[in-house]
Amino acid sequence: MNSDERIDALTERTEALTQSVELLSRMHQDNEIRFQGYFDRLTRVMESLAIVVQDHDARIKGLEN
């Protein structure tokens, strides 16, 4: 393998690595967006459950009195 062939091979490998890193970066960004959506939904559910718990606690205290 002469020097030109080595340079071509290294260039191809570099381009392939660059594409792989770009793909991984896009996948990571997509996952961050998806995770944020899950987290937002989970937060809303937890807030709703907190309201239910407070209402339930108030009813129990009302029955005790």
Residues 9-59 pLDDT 10s: 999 999 999 999 999 999 999 999 999 999 999 999 999 999 999 999 999
How far is the C-alpha of 45 from the C-alpha of 54, rounded, in Å? 14
pLDDT on residue 64 = 86
Backbone φ and ψ of 2, nearest 5°: -85, 180
pLDDT on residue 65 = 77
Contact partners, residue 9, CB within 8 Å, separation at least 6 = 1
Closest CA to 28 of 18, 39, 20: 20
Structure pTM?
0.63
45: amino acid identity, one letter? V
